[in-house]
Amino acid sequence: MTLEIKLESVKDVQDFVSMATACHYPVAVDCGGFSVNGKSFMEMFCIDLRRRLTVTVDCGNDPCPDFCQAAARFQI
**What pLDDT was estimated at residue 50?**
87
pLDDT computed for residue 62 by the predictor: 73
Query: Which residues span the domain enclosing 17?
Result: 2-74
- Give how far Cα 5 sits from Cα of 9, 70, Å: 13, 12
Q: What is the rounded average pLDDT for all residues in the chain?
A: 91
Name the pTM for this structure.
0.89
Please tell me the predicted confidence (pLDDT) of residue 14.
95
**pLDDT by residue (tens digit) across 44-67?**
999 998 899 999 998 877 767 788
Q: Which of 25, 41, 33 is nearest to 7 (CA)?
A: 41
Domains identified in the chain, total number: 1
CATH number of the domain bearing residue 27: 3.30.1340.10
- pLDDT of 36 reads 97
